[in-house]
Structure 1
C-alpha cells in the first residue's frame, strides 16, 4: 500500500497521570477528557491541553493493525517529555514474556509492555510535527506526556501508513464466506503490513526477511497479486547473500548480523523451483542455476557414507515445537534426523526438476538418483509399520507430524500410508504438532493425497485467532509472542490453490492444473493471477458432480480433474 495519511480508530482511555506499571482501568475509559482526546483524530484536529508540571496518558486504539509513521502535532510544552509506545495487544499481567494477551480487543485490567517507541522533547515552538525516523507497527499506541514549566497543547494525531503496493487480483468465495472471509482478510492484512521493499517476518519484532518465511510469502504473492518486481528483488537479495556463507544463502538478508540456518539454505532451492513454475521468466530463472549448483555441492558435503545428511551445521531450525530445543528436531544437531533428511530429499527433488526444465539433464538424473537413494534409506530406517508413523530418529521414541507431512510430500510413504499416518498422529499423544507456519506444508500434503477439503476443518485454528479479536495472523499457537507473522498467512494460498485446486503443472505456468477438493462447499468462485492474465473459476458441486465454467489466459492450456474425471482445457472461456 502506498504512503497514505490516516486517522484511524479512537482514543479509548485517558488518564491524568502516567500509566507506569498500572493496568488500564474502567474509569480511564469514562474520563471527561475522552471527547477532547478523540477530537485529535478529526481531519481539522482538536486541542488537548496539558498544564505545567502535570502528566497525561492516552491509549489510541487504531482498531486495526498498521505499519507506518505516526505524527503528533504539538504546540508549546518546552522541555516536556513525550513518550510513544506501540503494542500489538495488551497483556493480562506484567510478566510479558509469558505472552498472555487473550482477547486483543479488551483493554480493561490489562497492561501495556515497554514496547517499541520513541521519546520527544519539544522546544516550545508552535505546531511542531513529531514523527519517528523508522516505521512503527501494531494496533495500540500509548502516548504519555509529562510537562515541565510550560503548558503543552496536543492538536492532532495521524498516521502515514505504508507498505508494498500489492496489485491484489486473486479472489476466493464460497458458501462458507461468513467463516472464511475474515480469515482471508486477516491473512491479507498481515502480508500488507509485513512487506515493504522486501518481505518481513513481522513488522513489530525482528523486521527481517527470512528464507523460510519468504518461501511462503512468495507463494501467496503468486496466488494473489500481479507482481513480479518484489519476488525478483528478494530473490536477487538472497543471491547476493551467498558471499557471507561461502556460497550458501544466508537465513536472513539484508541483516546487520549474519545468520546461517541450514534448513533455510535448502528451502532456498524450493523458492527457485516455485519461481520457475509460477512465473514466466526463463532468463531470470536461468540466472539462479550457478548458485543452486554450488548449494547442492555444499549440501552433498553434509552426507554420511550412505548418503544421508548428519551433524548438520548452523541452526537446523524446522518449526517452533514445544518438545524441540530451539525448533530443532531430535538428532538435528548431533546425528541423523529423519526430518532434516526429508527436507534434504525435497531439496534434491526440487533441484532435479529445475535442471530438467532449464538446466543439464545429466545433473537432473544425478539428483534423481541421489533422491531415490535417500528415499529408500528413510523408508527402510524410519517407517514404523506397526504404528503407521515415520520416526524422527532411529530410537523409535520421537515422533512428529512434521515427519509424516514431509514423508507424504516426498513420496517416502504412499497416499494410503499417509492417510494412516495422519490418523495415527492425530490420535497419539506423543506426536509433536505443527505451528501455523508448518501447517502450510501439512495443507500441501493433504492436497497431494486428495484430502484438501480437510483444510477447511484445519482452518478452525485461524478461526480461533479471529474469535480473539485478531486483525492479523499470529506467529505461533497461543500464547504467542508476535501477533502479526506473515508465514501464517497461507490460507490466502491454499483456498484458491488447494481447495479450488489451481496450480501450474508445467514450468513458466504454460500448463494449468485445476483439481478442486471442495468437501462440503456447494460452490466456489476464484480468480488466480497468471503471467498472461487471470484464471477464473465458477463452480458448483452437487451429488458428487461439478458444473460451471473456467476461463484460461491466452497461450495456455490445462486439465480439469474432479471425482476421477478429466477434461482438457484450452485458452478462453469454457463450460464444464
Structure 2
C-alpha cells in the first residue's frame, strides 16, 4: 500500500518549547539548499500548527494552512520553482503557534503539540533535524487579559507587542549567519509499537489560495495640529511612498483613511528613529465614546461612521524600533495576521533620533470568489450602493472560512453561514467554500445530535441549538442550487440527529420545550431582548417567555420549518417514508403553535405570553412553516410589519421577512419599507453592512448582505424551481428595474436577462432547462429553454 507523504517526513519544532508559557508565540525556521540549475517544477506540501508564512530566498510564497479541524488539517501544495535561483537558496517559514492551554483566538484550532511539516520529492528540503529554528522573542501576542473590554469578549487575540531590538535581522537572506540557531527536533505523538496517530490528519486544501493585492490609503486625517505642508507630506507618503521625517523627541498622531472597510496585511517601512514607539490602532469607524454603565456589554454608540469628531475604538499593535538602529538603517514591521480596518490611527513617539517613514501600505486579502452575476444600468444610485456595499460586506466575511465578522471574531457560525452561502450562490458558481463549511459543521457533531454553533473552534463552546436547524437549511440550499445527491446523502444521518434532538424536547402540548441548561437559546439581536440578566450573555437575544417556562413559539416554528426542508432532502434522496414522517411532525407542531400561541389576530411569543409579548419573528416563521396560510397569513404579516408594538427582526432575520412577503403576496406593497434599514446605513456612511441596529458592535457582518438575494431572487426573479436548478422559477418584477441588462449565476450555469419598458423579456440560459414563468396575475406557464438560445417572454 502506498504511503501518504506525511508518513515519510516528520513534523518538527524548536526544542525546549513551553506551550504553557504564553497564549501564542512565533518560531522561525530555515534551511539552505543548493541548485546547479532551476528545476522546471518543484512541488512541495506544507502545513503547520497553528499558522505559517513560507518564504523562498526572502520572497513570501504563501500563507496557511487553511483553517479547518484536527480530523481534516489542511496542507498546501505549492510549486516553489519560480522562487528558486541557481546556486545557494534558502527556504524559511515563520510559524505562529497558539497554545491549546490558553483561550486566545477562538477561530483557530490547534493540536496538543506544535509543528511544521514540509515535503518535497525532488529537493532535499523536507523537514527533519537539518532544519534550523529560533524562537522569535521580539514578538509577544497580547494576552486576553490586555484586551479592551469596550470591544466585547476577547475572541480574536492577534495583536502584537514587538521589540525591534530583539528582532533577528536579515534571517530570510541566503547568507545569514545561522550559527546561533538551534537544530529542529521531531514533534510527534507516535510511539514505537503503539497505534497512536499524529494529532492532525492531513488533507489537501480544498479552496484556492487567498490573494494578497497591494493597496494604498486614500488620505490622512490629522488628530494633532499639523500644518498644511506636513499634511501634504503625509499624503505623499501614503500615495507615492515619498519619505516623511518625524523629528526627534516628538509625538504625532494621524489617522489613515482607506475610504472603505477592508481586510489586509499592514506593512510599515522605516529608517532610523532608534527606540521610537509606534501604536497602530485599526478601527472600523468613528463613534461616540462608550457608556461604561451600559447593561449590554456589546452596546456601542454609532452614527455617521465618518464623523471625525468622534473616537476610534479598536485593537492596538505596538512596535518599538531597534534601539541600536543607525540613522541610515532600515526596518520593517508587518503584523503576522491580517487586520480589518477602515481607519488606522498611527501614534508615533520618537526618541533621540529622527524617524523616517518610507512606506505605509497594505495588501488586501479575501477569498477569490469569481462573481458571475454582473449588472449594469442600475435604476437608482441607492440600488447601486446597496448592491456594491452588499458585495463588499460578503467579500470581507469570506477568507478560509465564512466569518460572522472579520474584525471581532472571524468565527464561522451555522446561522450566519447559511445566509452568506446563499448570497454566494446568487453571485457565483463557486461552491468550494460552501462545501468546506458544510463539511466542517458535519465534522463538529456532538453526542446530543447537534452540531457546534461555530466551528472550527479550539475548545467546546456554548451551543445555540437553533443554529443546527439553519445548517439543515444550508444543505437544502445546496441541493436546490447544485443538485449533488452524494453530498446530500452524506449528511442525512446528521440531519436526522439534529431533528431528533428537538423531537425529544416536544412536550405534552406538542410544542418544543426548554433546551438543555448549558445552551444559549439565542433567537435574534433586538433592543427588547438585549438586556443581560445577571451578567450572563445566555439571557440575551431571547423572548421573555423562555426565561419563564422554556417554551417559545419560535422554537416550534423554526423546528417545523427545518422539518419541511429535511423532508425535501429525504424525497430527493429516495427516503420517502422519512419525508412523510417529517412532514407529519411539522404539521403537528404548526397545529400546536396555532392552538396555544395564536391570539385572535397574531401569535404571541409563548403559550403563557401576554398580548404585549409579540414579535415579527413568530409571525414570519409561522408563515414559512405553513402554520399561517392564505388571507390570515397576509393580514397577520401586514400587521406585524406595520405595527411598532411588535419586536422587529434584525438585518439578518429580515431575510426571512422578505421570504414571507413573497409567500403572502405582500412583497410589492412592503418592499420599500423593508429596505429602509439599509438606506439608513447608507446615510450613516457605512461601506459594509452592520451586525444589527440593536447591536452595532460590528460594522461588517455577512449575514446582513440581504440586498444581494433580494435583487436576484425578487427583482430579477430567479430562484431554483427544482434541485440542481434543473428547473428555473422566473418571476421578474420589472417595475423596480425598468431597463434590465444583466448576467446571473444560477447554480453551475448562468442566465442573461434583458428587458425594456413595454417590451418583452429576453431570457438566455447557458444550459438546457425548464422555466416556470410566473405572470403578474399569479398564473404560471412552463417553457423549454435550449442552451444558448434566447427566448422571448411577453409578460403582462
TM-score (norm 1): 0.92
Answer yes or no: is the 8 Å Cα contact 2:479–2:569 preserved in 1.
yes
Greater shift, 375-384 or 78-87, is seen at 375-384
| Pairing 1:430–2:645 present | yes
* Aligned position for 1:455: 671
What residue number does 2:153 align with? Answer: none
Where does 1:389-400 land on structure 2 (aligned, <5 Å)? 389-394=602-607, 395-397=609-611, 398-400=613-615
1:120 to 286, 311, 319: 319
Q: State the SS of the aligned residue for 2:303.
A: coil
Question: Offset at 1:178?
Answer: 1.7
Question: Equivalent residue of 1:513, what SS?
Answer: strand
Distance 2:376 2:679 in 1: 17
Residue in 1 that maps onto 2:212: 3
Matched, 1:558 2:771: yes
How is 1:73-472 mapped onto 2 (pairs within 5 angstroms)? 73-93=269-289, 95=291, 98-107=299-308, 109-113=309-313, 115-123=314-322, 124=325, 126-172=329-375, 176-243=379-446, 246-257=448-459, 258-313=461-516, 314-325=519-530, 326-333=540-547, 334-385=549-600, 388-394=601-607, 395-397=609-611, 398-453=613-668, 454-472=670-688
101 and 374 in structure 1: CA distance in 2 versus 1, 3 angstrom threshold: closer
Q: Distance in 1 between matches of 2:275 and 2:568?
A: 65
Over residues 489-519 of structure 1, what are the superposed CA-to-partner deviations in whole Å (9 max), with x where a residue is unaligned? 0111111112222111111221110112445
Cα drift, residue 98 of structure 1: 4.9
Whether the 8 Å CA contact 1:331–1:337 is kept in 2: the answer is yes
Shift of residue 110, structure 1, vs aligned partner: 1.7
- Following TM superposition, by how much is the alpha carbon of 1:523 offset from its aligned partner in structure 2, in angstroms? 4.1
SS state of the match for residue 224, structure 1? coil
CA contact (8 A) 2:287 2:304 kept: no
For residues 11-26 of structure 1, the aligned pairs below 5 Å read 11-13=220-222, 15=224
> What is the aligned partner in structure 2 of residue 20 from structure 1?
none
Q: Deviation digits for residues 392-420 of structure 1, max 9, x if unmatched?
A: 11233310011111111111111322221
Contact 2:633/2:664, CA 8 A, preserved across alignment: yes
The offset of 1:365, in angstroms, is 0.9
Deviations 1:178-233 (A, max 9, x none): 22010111111011111101011111111111111101001100111121111101
**Match for residue 715 of structure 2?**
499
> Which of the pair is proportionally richer in helix?
1
Determine if contact 1:172/1:496 at 8 Å carries over to the other structure: no
SS in 2 for 1:32: helix
Q: CA deviation at 1:265?
A: 1.2
Whether the aligned pair in 2 keeps the contact of 1:54 and 1:146 (CA below 8 Å) is: yes
- Correspondence for 1:529: 745
| Closer/same/farther in 2, CA of residues 117 and 467 from structure 1, 3 Å limit | same
Compared CA separation, residues 330 and 4, structure 1 to 2 (3 A): same
| CA positional deviation for 1:541 | 5.4
Corresponding residue to 1:567 among 781, 785, 795 = 781
CA distance in 1, matches of 2:216, 2:675: 33
Structure 1 runs (4+) greater than 6 angstroms displaced: none
Instruction: Give the distance between the partners of 1:219 and 1:262, measured in 2 at CA.
Output: 21
Change (3 A) 1:566 1:13: same
Corresponding residue SS for 1:384: coil
**CA distance in 2 between partners of 1:225 and 1:117 (Å):** 36
TM-superposed deviation, 1:94: 5.3
The Cα offsets for residues 234-279 of structure 1, whole Å up to 9 and x where unpaired, read as 1111111114x54311110112342310110111111111111111
For residues 589 and 742 of structure 2, the distance between their equivalents in structure 1, rounded to whole angstroms, comes to: 38
Q: 1:64 aligns with which of 260, 285, 290?
A: 260
Structure 1 regions of 5+ residues with no counterpart?
16-26
Q: Secondary structure at the match of 1:557?
A: strand
RMSD (Å) for aligned C-alpha atoms: 2.0
Distance 2:634 2:742 in 1: 28
Work out whether residues 715 and 736 of structure 2, in 8 Å CA contact, stay in contact via their aligned partners in 1.
no
| Unaligned segments of structure 2, at least 5 residues | 1-209, 293-297, 531-539
Asked if the contact 2:526–2:649 (Cα under 8 Å) also holds between the matched residues in 1, the reply is yes
Structure 1 residue 105: Cα displacement = 2.1
Q: Quick one: distance in 2 between partners of 1:517 and 1:415?
A: 22
Structure 1 position 422, deviation (Å)? 2.5
Name which of 226, 229, 234 aligns with 1:37.
234
Q: 1:382 to 1:517 in 2, by over 3 A?
A: farther
What is the CA deviation profile of residues 81-126 of structure 1, one whole-angstrom value per residue up to 9, with x for unaligned ones?
111001111123354875223212221x22222x113111111262
1:423 CA drift (Å): 2.6
Question: Aligned pair 1:510/2:707, yes or no?
Answer: no
Sort the Cα spacing of 1:280 and 1:425 in 2 relative to 1 into closer, same or farther, 3 A. Answer: closer
Residue 480, structure 1, aligned to residue 676, structure 2: no
Name the CA shift for 1:336/1:210 in 2 (closer, same or farther; >3 Å).
same
Name the CA distance, whole Å, in 1 between partners of 2:375 and 2:453: 32
Pick closer, same or farther for the CA change 1:158–1:102 going to 2, 3 Å.
Answer: same
Distance 1:473 1:189 in 2: 9
User: Larger relative contact order (C-alpha < 8 A, sep ≥ 6)?
Assistant: 1
Which structure has the larger Rg?
2
Confirm or deny: 8 A CA contact 1:68 1:136 kept in the other structure: yes
State how far apart, in whole Å, the 2-side matches of 1:194 and 1:434 are.
22
Query: CA–CA distance in 1 between the matches of 2:757 and 2:512?
Result: 46
Q: The residue matched to 1:503 in structure 2 has which SS? A: strand
Distance change in 2, residues 1:365/1:479 (3 Å):
closer
Distance 2:426 2:591 in 1: 34
Local SS of the residue matching 1:362:
helix
SS of residue matched to 1:432: coil
Tell me how far apart the structure 1 counterparts of residues 408 and 699 of structure 2 sit (CA, whole Å).
Answer: 10
Q: CA 1:56 to 1:175, structure 2 compared with 1: closer, same or farther past 3 Å? A: closer
Q: Contact 1:450–1:517 at 8 Å: present in 2 too?
A: no
1:221/1:156 Cα in 2 relative to 1: closer, same or farther (>3 Å)? same
> Secondary structure in 1 aligned to 2:596?
helix
Q: How many residues align?
A: 555
- Which shifted more, 282-291 or 472-481? 472-481
